[in-house]
Structure 1
Amino acid sequence: MPLLYSIGKVTVGTALMTGWRPHVEGLEHIPRTGGAIFAGNHLSVADELFLGAVVPRHLAFWAKSDYFTGTGIKGLLNRKLMEGLGAIRVERAGGRAALTAFDAAIPALKGGDLVAVYPEGTRSPDGKLYRGRTGVARLAVAAGVPIIPVGMLGTEKVQPIGRLYPKLMRNTVTIKFGEPIPTVGRSDDRTALRELTDQVMAEIQKLTGQEYVPRYAPSKSQEPA
């Protein structure tokens, strides 16, 4: 576990566990060694904070490329911070550039790291579970690692859309981990990836009990005010 990440676990992680007291189920499904992908529903920007707090191993998160390319003292500090946390660089442009984030995660996963992905692609605007995008399946099959379904409950109350900091609400957040879904030997053709993604979303729904919507979540520009 990178040093800066370890410091964050002791400081921020401990504060979250002590102050918010999240309920956690299924920790036995997290492998002690080897790479894996956490695929969860997405209700709040606080999802990653709580996920990182409860997962006992290093969790590589995504960070926009700007943090790696800045200039001057601030740019240097941001770059060292991201590198020290073991972050994965994400290109914000579309097309092939956007896919490089997933490409960068493959060696991390093969090297035994854990990575979190939100198949819906954006936060749910209404608490429902939307159709998953196949990127999580493509990444898992390419890296040959299992997918662990994650169900987040209550984070939208702690930090709703538009709120800068989470509210101090104890015993509100629940995090559930499902049984790992193996991907070794799975085909990477479009139909197979769609089937695997739908399987992952079905397992997430079992954990959360959310109403499922068989279409992609609206982008931020389409979300209701």
Structure 2
Amino acid sequence: MSLINTILTQLTTKTVSFFVGNVKGLENLKFNGPRIIIANHSSYMDHFVILYLLKKQNPNQAVYFLTKKEAFEKPFSRWWHLSLNSISVDRTKNAMSSMMVLKDKLITEKAVVVIYPEGTRTPTGNMYFGKNGAESLSYVTGVEMIPIGMHENFDVLPKFSIFPNFKKISVAVGNSIQIPKTSRKEIPAISRSNIQLLSSLAREKLESKSVESIDVKEEMLQAMIDDNQKALRSYPDANHTPLDYHKRVLYLGKTLLARFDSSSSEQNLIFLEIARAYGRLGYLKGIKTLKGRYYMMKTTSALNKASSIAEKSSEWYYIKGHQSLFLGDKKSYLKNLVKANDMVRNNIQYMLALAKAMNLNHEFCSARNILLSILKVDTCTQLDDRRKYEAVVLLMRMDSHFDPSQELVRNEKIIV
């Protein structure tokens, strides 16, 4: 181990220790001999978190990282990665030469090799299926693999970011994985199983595609919509707090605007989702707090930018209405929801919000009629089904004589 490597390792591990929170299964990193580490890849911090944990358990163990060749193109980046024992791999070509180097490190040096199956950092925070190089290397060498899942590493220092957010990364280290010599044909299936295991350890959503096959811009746009929805509703796969989801939306939106060429409709969508996230953050932080007021100002700014790009849409009025609600302006809340519903008919999301706005403004009869109308609308998504049941609950609160079973059977939209 060179002097530079020793100094950089000590410097980076001491620095990254401030970002490492709860670690489960750390004892699985106490071993003798070579190992292959597989981990999810969401952040610049991943190298250093893994290095910190390995050095904590095995101070004298040599550690090598398989790193994309693009990281070696600039002089400083090349020096940095070489100093940290990174081994270049060309992801567009056969990686056999890199694998031979790793094989030599495992067998000759009895070193630890770190491989990220996804191949590159996720642009959204979600996980993706990758390649089976780690499994193939394990099969050839007989060296065991150890899975490491890192949670919220994306939120600390995501792709395209320079400065880290001070947030704790939680880590889960799984048990060793041994690939039998009789399982060569099963390597692809084992690889998929290992990615699913990493997703479970990292507590991150696993997409059903590889990161190399995605359109990054489209994926980030969809992630903005999904993350805002997850923050607003309790989803089974919601592994983060509403604050974290909304902050992811802000990061995704700002990155899209700064680094990608987007059409006017895409820019409009980005600003609307940013406005939605800021508005919700303002509400969660408290409208009377300094930060809450700041977020509300940013909401207004994002809505203004959206309306300068395209005409005000139903979604614009929906978001503006909720900003008014958060600020305590019930009349403006109702006014904007009326406009949203006038522009798009039979939208359960808008109808439910309109009924709530009418109820707040003491228009109880109108609110009841809207809620009854919701029960007659066909639903296409599970989320709309939940909204329909929410309408039933509101009707029961408004009218003690309301019989939900009779109403639902009468409309034949929901099976009781």
TM-score normalised by the chain length of structure 1: 0.80
RCO higher in structure (CA 8 A, sep ≥6): 1
| C-alpha RMSD over aligned residues | 3.0
Cα drift, residue 184 of structure 1: 4.4
1:73-117 superposed Cα distances (whole Å, 9 cap, x missing partner): x79xx67982x6433243x37323x33212211111123111111
> Kindly tell me: are residues 58 and 220 of structure 1, through their superposed partners in 2, closer, same or farther at Cα, counting changes over 3 Å?
farther
Aligned to 1:121: 119
Q: Contact 2:151/2:203 (CA < 8 Å) preserved in 1?
A: no
- Tell me the residue number matched to 1:8: 8
Matched, 1:200 2:194: yes
SS at match of 1:214: strand
Whose strand proportion is higher, 1 or 2?
1
Number of residue pairs matched? Answer: 213
Report the residue type matching 1:62 in the other structure: L
The DSSP-based 3-state class of the residue aligned with 1:213 is strand
Unaligned runs of 5+ in 2: 56-60, 221-255, 257-416
Query: 2:20·2:170 contact (CA, 8 Å) conserved in 1?
Result: no
1:180 pairs with 2:154? no
Equivalent residue number for residue 316 of structure 2: none
Contact 2:68 2:91 in 1 (8 A): no
Q: Spell out the pairing of 1:79-98 with structure 2 (5 A cutoff).
A: 82=82, 85-90=84-89, 92=90, 94-96=92-94, 98=95
Amino acid in the other structure paired with 2:4: L
Higher mean displacement: 6-15 or 144-153 = 6-15
* Structure with larger Rg: 2
- Cα deviation 1:47-77 (Å, max 9, x = unaligned): 112111221233212356689899xxx79xx
Q: Does 1:59 align with 2:63?
A: yes
Q: Within 2, Cα distance between the matches of 1:139 and 1:216?
A: 20
- Of all paired residues, the percent bearing the same amino acid is 23
- Mark the CA change 1:156 to 1:106 in structure 2 (over 3 Å): closer, same or farther: same
**Equivalent-residue separation in structure 2 for 1:93 and 1:69 (angstroms):** 14
Please name the residue that 2:34 is paired with.
35
- Alpha-carbon distance in 2 for matches of 1:66, 1:126: 20
Bigger mean CA offset, 57-66 vs 103-112: 57-66
CA spacing shift, 1:163–1:220, aligned 2, 3 Å: farther
Q: Distance in 2 between matches of 1:26 and 1:119?
A: 21
Distance, in Å, in 1 between the alignment partners of 2:80 and 2:46 is 24
| SS, match of residue 61 in structure 1 | strand
Residue aligning to 2:100: 103
Residue 182 of structure 1 deviates from its aligned partner by 0.8
Aligned positions of 1:148-163 closer than 5 A: 148-163=146-161
Higher share in helix: 2
Equivalent residue of 2:31, what SS? Answer: coil
